[in-house]
Amino acid sequence: MPWQIEQRNGLYLPQLDWHLDARKPVARSFVSHAHFDHMGKHEEILCSPPTAQLIRQRIPGDRKWSIHEFGEPFELEPGTKACLYPAGHIVGSSMLWLEKDGESFLYTGDFKLTPGISAEPCQPVQVDTLIIETTYGLPRYTFPPENEVYADIIRFCRETLENGDTPVLFGYSLGKSQSILRSLTDAKLEVMLHPTALKLTQSCAKLGWTFPSHLPFNERDHQGKVVISPPFQKNAPFLQRIKNPKTAIISGWAIDPSSTYRYQTDKAFPLSDHADYLDLQSFVAKVAPKTIYTVHGFAQEFAATLRQQGYQAWALGRENQLGLDIPTPSANDTSATNSRNLTKKSRATPPPPTAAPGSLEALVLTSLALAATDSLQNKTDLISNHIAALDPEFVPIALQLLVEPNAKTLDGLTQKLVLQSLILATGSSETEYKQLYQESRDKFQITHQLLARSAKTPQKTLRDIHSFLTTLAAAPNPIFKQSLLSEQFRKLSPNEGTFLLQFLSSTLQTGITPNLLCEAIANRYQRPVDATQAAYLRSQNLDTVAQAAASDTLDSIRISLFQPIAPIIAHPETSAEAIIEKQGLSLWVEQEHAGMRCQIHKQEEHVELYSTSHERITHLFPEFVDEARKIPQHFICDAVIVPWGYEAPLPRSELEKRLSRKAEDLFLGEEVHVVLWLFDILCLADIDLLDLPLEKRRQKLDTLSVTPKIRITPVLPLMGVEQIEQAYARSINTGNNGLVFKDPRSPYNPLAAGDTWLKLAPQED
């Protein structure tokens, strides 16, 4: 009897009237495992005992159960033999084997052939018809050995803790969280679990699984510990409760170079509880089916691969094109193994630079070493060692090449133009590039591959690349820029060219921070770190700081009008008690306005406003120019632009309306009234105030004349939990974002703000 399979609410077997992993409620469904996307409130459920226990916890309710142990034969319907086998995906996950009229059938559900550490080992059986999950059905999804990935995760945790930050490991609450926790068994790290991960870990423990010591997440006691949590967005309330979080996603999709951008995390580790590309091929070979149906993920692509190997394979619910398949590696093909080795090699720590000091190649090797470590001390040592070997003239160039390019360099330089320049330089084509990208999804690997066809010996110096970037920034139009860039790619070695592409894409991933660069400059010239940081804070220019450090003139760098500096960002807290614990009982408090943070600079008739990213925004708010000119002093102030009406703030959405208008329509700005609230002063009458304590700066700020459109945020002296909670409620009720708590003794130093500025954030729902 040929098996009939329909793709309907999961999969459906009409000959038996049973669903497989139906998501919406049905009369009868096999549930392979207890993830929400594979189960529903069905009247009758067929599953393994662990899955039944987890379903009862996650979807309570009365229902009929058909529960069977792994390997236990039973009759699903008269004349239909059945058996459940472990799938290796998560605790209790199972595959369904059926036989009717001499024809056998296996449905894998989500599965993993390589033994994991938090699931029963997968047990393939030979059948006539196979339905196989193919989430990772492309060659590029060949994962490195798990023990190496776990070692990388542990190293990330230790280095993050050494840096004084909190490592937060993202993994789904059921399955991945337990794997991560068990991987830390011998690491001697203290671990806290998010409430949902904790609850399901406790459920797995009741099923007989053992786990290392762990604690529930505690906002007041999480520093120095590893936090395991479901994935969250960067601005999620849970993450705001964590001191200096450094996040890492644990997922098979981490093999994609864009994973950290996609998930908005600091790190990504390629680890999955699904079968990778090699596992899929090995599983098919073990099962030896006559007919194969692929589902999920890259179903069409993997079915095409299997057909090339002689199998009758089809993607369920998809159009299966014949004769247009691109050759892909077989299970026995050494290129697949090489793919795994390449992945491993790309993750290994690079050797220390051995190229000549002052060469671009030496800088490339340093950047690779920086990307391979999470330890701030290691990063500082790498940069310090690199610039120590350079002549002073090369130090600013090297530092600038390790961070993002400036806006002038990127002006008119789109990513498409950069890639077209590479294609032109290597004699490739857009068609070939797209095909290579489909295979690897890694534009940097492709760049290296294309440049290697006519590999040049590394020969560029830092002076060469600096001169080129200066010329590129000055190029008058995109065509000229493409010509310059294409010619440059022709002259570069694979390493040099790949580095240039990463630099122009702002994707070096070196993990460099201003603090770290300042420390490296200080080490290079034997200057005080705090003086170096202060100089960078005021100038925002690495060239200036490096030159001043070399000439021992750091103290001469002062804040300048019309040169915006980085703002202090308040650290969020979720309780009055936490605020008092860090800043004391008697508090200096301000309203947190619901608006747009900015800096205003004024000298004579010249007035400019800058966003927190240093972008000039004066043209968006011309009314503030006229108002600021009424104030006689010259100044730089920290401020926030607030939509305003009838002496009360309006919703932030009103400001968005203003910002969305075209510049030529801003004469209509009076329809959306705004007020500029000043809350700190950084410079007055050309005198740098950054080193003064806040209470002294506020005395200076209060000397400014206010106007109806430019006002000064008042200070609220509060004491005790009750006063804080009452003031917070009033702030929210009047349309503000809450309260900001500041240490009145603190200087203005965004690079070392610590707990000097705190804000009371809403509790998580």
244 and 111 inside one domain: no
Cα dihedral: 76, 57, 211, 277 (round 10) = 50
Cα–Cα distance between 169 and 182 in angstroms, integer? 13
Residue 463 domain-assigned? no
Which of these three, 283, 298, 330, is where a domain ends?
A: 330
Which of these three, 284, 311, 330, is where a domain ends?
A: 330
pLDDT surpassing 80 at residue 662 = no
Confidence of residue 323 (pLDDT cuts 50, 70, 90): very low
- The whole-number pLDDT of residue 53 equals 94
102 and 248 inside one domain: no
Into how many domains does the chain fold?
3
Residue 53 domain-assigned? yes
Residue bearing the bigger pLDDT, 33 or 241: 33
pLDDT surpassing 90 at residue 89 = yes
Which of these three, 231, 253, 269, is where a domain ends?
A: 269
Structure tokens at 742: 């500041």
Residue 217 near residue 192, CB atoms below 8 Å: yes
Cα–Cα distance between 370 and 385 in angstroms, integer? 12
Confidence of residue 515 (pLDDT cuts 50, 70, 90): confident
106 and 174 inside one domain: no
- The whole-number pLDDT of residue 404 equals 76
pLDDT surpassing 50 at residue 278 = yes
- The whole-number pLDDT of residue 753 equals 64
- The whole-number pLDDT of residue 40 equals 87
183 and 321 inside one domain: no
Confidence of residue 671 (pLDDT cuts 50, 70, 90): low
Residue bearing the bigger pLDDT, 673 or 637: 637
Residue 635 domain-assigned? yes
- The whole-number pLDDT of residue 342 equals 34
- The whole-number pLDDT of residue 761 equals 65
Q: What is the mean pLDDT of the chain?
A: 87
DSSP 11-65: EEETTTTEEES-SS--SEEE--SS-GGG----SEEEE-HHHHHHHHHHS-S--EE
Average pLDDT over residues 77-91: 95
Average pLDDT over residues 358-369: 90
Structure tokens at 519: 């420390």
Residue 357 domain-assigned? no
Confidence of residue 599 (pLDDT cuts 50, 70, 90): very high
Give the pLDDT confidence of 435-444 residue by residue, as tens digits.
888 777 788 8
Residue 445 domain-assigned? no
Average pLDDT over residues 1-8: 82
Which amino acid does the sequence have at 182?
R
Cα–Cα distance between 263 and 248 in angstroms, integer? 9
Give the pLDDT confidence of 27-83 residue by residue, as tens digits.
999 999 999 888 889 999 999 999 999 999 888 888 999 999 999 999 999 999 999
731 and 660 inside one domain: yes
Give the pLDDT confidence of 405-419 residue by residue, as tens digits.
877 778 788 888 989
CATH code, domain carrying 754: 3.30.470.30
Average pLDDT over residues 484-497: 92
84 and 123 inside one domain: yes
pLDDT surpassing 70 at residue 470 = yes
Residues 6+ apart with CB under 8 A from 531: 522, 554, 555
589 and 684 inside one domain: yes
Confidence of residue 305 (pLDDT cuts 50, 70, 90): very high
Average pLDDT over residues 456-461: 84
Give the pLDDT confidence of 715-739 residue by residue, as tens digits.
999 988 899 999 999 988 888 888 9
624 and 735 inside one domain: yes
Give the pLDDT confidence of 691-711 residue by residue, as tens digits.
999 999 999 999 998 888 999
Residues 6+ apart with CB under 8 A from 221: none
Residue 696 domain-assigned? yes
What are the φ and ψ backbone dihedral angles of 180, each rounded to 5 degrees?
A: -60, -45
pTM for this prediction: 0.73
CATH code, domain carrying 74: 3.60.15.10
Crossing angle (nearest 10°) for helices 478-491 and 494-504 = 150
Give the pLDDT confidence of 231-240 residue by residue, as tens digits.
988 878 888 8
Residue 10 near residue 19, CB atoms below 8 Å: yes
- The whole-number pLDDT of residue 762 equals 58
Residue 302 near residue 274, CB atoms below 8 Å: no
CATH code, domain carrying 224: 3.40.50.10890
Confidence of residue 338 (pLDDT cuts 50, 70, 90): very low
Cα dihedral: 609, 614, 615, 617 (round 10) = -10
261 and 281 inside one domain: no
Cα–Cα distance between 404 and 410 in angstroms, integer? 10
Structure tokens at 19: 């669903």
- Among residues 425, 450, 424, the alpha carbon closest in space to that of 435 is found at 450
Residue 165 domain-assigned? yes
pLDDT surpassing 70 at residue 328 = no
Residue 307 near residue 325, CB atoms below 8 Å: yes
Q: What radius of gyration, in Å, describes the C-alpha atoms of the chain?
A: 30
Residue 361 class from Cβ within 10 Å (0-12 exposed, 13-18 middle, 19+ buried)?
Answer: buried
DSSP letter for 122, please. Answer: P
Q: Cα angle vertex 407, ends 406, 413, to 5°?
A: 110
- The whole-number pLDDT of residue 36 equals 86
User: What percentage of residues in the chain have a pLDDT greater than 70?
Assistant: 93
- Among residues 350, 759, 335, the alpha carbon closest in space to that of 582 is found at 759
Residue with tokens 């003239």, as numbered in its chain? 393
pLDDT surpassing 50 at residue 171 = yes
Structure tokens at 719: 């004491």
- Among residues 630, 643, 648, the alpha carbon closest in space to that of 670 is found at 643
Confidence of residue 763 (pLDDT cuts 50, 70, 90): low
Range of 51's domain? 6-140+275-330
Cα–Cα distance between 170 and 168 in angstroms, integer? 6
Residue 314 domain-assigned? yes
- The whole-number pLDDT of residue 350 equals 40
- The whole-number pLDDT of residue 487 equals 93
- The whole-number pLDDT of residue 665 equals 52
133 and 171 inside one domain: no
Residues 6+ apart with CB under 8 A from 1: 15, 100, 101, 102, 103
Which helix (H) or strand (E) segment holds residue 191: the answer is strand 191-193
206 and 280 inside one domain: no
pLDDT surpassing 60 at residue 324 = no
Average pLDDT over residues 517-532: 90
Residue 518 class from Cβ within 10 Å (0-12 exposed, 13-18 middle, 19+ buried)?
Answer: buried
- The whole-number pLDDT of residue 330 equals 39
- The whole-number pLDDT of residue 332 equals 39
Helix residue ranges, H only, 492-575: 494-504, 514-525, 529-539, 542-550
- Among residues 372, 373, 361, 348, the alpha carbon closest in space to that of 500 is found at 361
753 and 665 inside one domain: yes
Give the pLDDT confidence of 531-581 residue by residue, as tens digits.
998 999 998 888 889 889 989 999 999 999 999 998 998 888 878 888 888
